Amino acid sequence: MSTQKPPVDPFAATVPPSAERPAVKKREPRPPEPPKSSRNALLVVLGIVLVGGGVTAGILAAQRANRSHTAGTGSAAAPASVVGAPVTAGGSAVGSAASAAPVAPVAPIASGSGSAGSAAAATGPTSLDALLAAQDKAINDGTSAPFEPLLAPDIFGFGIDAGEVRVGRDGNYELVRHVIGMKPMTMTAKRYTGLADHAAWVAEVMTFSDGHVVELSELASEHGGTWRIDAWHWSLPLSNTKAAQLAGADKLAKPGDLPAVDVGSDGDPDGEISGAVIPAFSDRQVYVHALSPKPDAFAFGSAPGELMIGGAKVTGVFSKMDASFALGSGPIVKQVAPGIAYAAANVDFTNKAGTQTFRVLLVLQKADFWRIVQGHWSNGGPF
C-alpha cells in the first residue's frame, strides 16, 4: 500500500496533570459462590439505538457453543475508582512533590517454591496495593520467580512481540522474562487504576533506566482473600508513521493466532460475553456504543503518548476515527469475578494509511450489558 500520505493518528490524546494516588482499601474476601443451577440455552434479543448516529443494531446473545455475532446495550454502574495516579515502582509519586500512600511490603518468594517469608504472603498478596508493589519489585529486581503467587493459573497474556500469545503461568513467565531482560533495572511508572467489587483494571506506562518505555494493562481480581492477575497485555509503543511504513512494506509482524481456550461454563455464561464483544471487534460503531462513560475508563492506543483517560475521552477519540474494524483471530473471553471479564482478539484496523492487525485486550464491566472500561491496542514487535 502507498505510504506517501502521512498517516492519520487515530488515537491522539493528552495526558492529565499528575495526581496523588490514594491507597486502595482492603476488601473483605469474597465468599465462595453457591453452585449454579443448570441453564437452558437462551436467545435474548435486545435492540440498540445509537442516538445521533442513525444506526440500529440487533443484539443476539446465544449459547456459548454457537458463538453468534451479537452485541448489547445499557449503562454501567459506577464503583469507586482511583484514576490517573502516577507512581514509582514502590508507590512514590512521580512528577509531583506529593508522596503517594505507602504500600505494604511483600515478603520475597523463593524461586520455584512458591513459599514466602511469612504465612500471609505464602498464599499471595492480600490487597491490590500489595499485588502491584510485588509486581513492581519483581520488575526492578529483574527476576520472574516472584511472579508465581501473583498470576492466576490460567492467566492470558500478550507479550511485546507479535507471536507472544500465552495462556497459563509458565508461558506468561516467558513474557515477563522477555520484557525485563532478567537483569536489575530501575523502573518508574505512571499508573491508572479503576476499581470494581473484588476486581481492578490497571494500566501503566513504565520507563526503564536504559530509556525504553513499556506499556502494560492488566485485570486483577480477588478470590478467597488473595489477589491475582487474570490477564495482561505488554507492548512497546510504535509511532503511526513507522507502523504505516512497516505495514506498507509488508514488514510489520503479524500477530499470532489466539489459541482455543475452554473457559468453562462460568467463564462465559450462555455465550453472553462473546455475544457482546464479537460485534464490537467487528464494527467500530458498535465498539463506540459499548464504551463505558465512567471517569475511570481508560484506553491505550498503539503509538507513544496515546493515553485516553476517562470514558468521555475514549468515546470521543473512537467516535471521530475514520476507520473500520474487522475481527481476526479470537476472541478469548472470561468472566473472572461477578460482572467483570476480559476479552482478547486480533483486530484488523483499516484507515487511510492502510490495514494493520492490532492485538487488543479489553476489560468489561456489566450492568444491564457488558461495557468496555479498559482497552489496549498494540502492534506486536519486533520492529
Please choose, from the candidates 63, 130, 150, 61, the residue with its C-alpha nearest in 3D space to the C-alpha of residue 90.
130
Please tell me the predicted confidence (pLDDT) of residue 212: 86
Let me know if domain 48-108+124-378 sits in CATH 3.40.1010.20: no
Please tell me the predicted confidence (pLDDT) of residue 95: 28
Within 8 A by CB and 6+ apart from 260, the residues are: none
Helix %, strand %, coil % of the chain (to 5): 20, 35, 45
The C-alpha cell that represents 381 in the structure block:
514487535
Angle between helices 128-141 and 169-180 (to 10 degrees): 50
Q: What is the pLDDT along the chain (383 residues), one digit of tens a residue?
A: 444 444 545 554 433 433 333 444 444 555 554 444 433 333 333 333 333 333 333 333 333 333 333 333 333 333 333 333 333 333 322 222 222 333 333 333 222 323 333 333 347 899 999 999 999 988 888 887 788 899 999 999 999 999 999 999 999 988 988 887 756 678 888 999 999 999 999 999 999 888 889 999 999 999 889 999 999 999 999 999 999 999 889 999 989 889 887 766 678 988 999 999 999 999 999 999 999 999 999 999 999 999 999 999 999 999 999 999 999 999 999 999 999 999 999 999 999 989 999 999 999 999 878 999 999 999 999 98
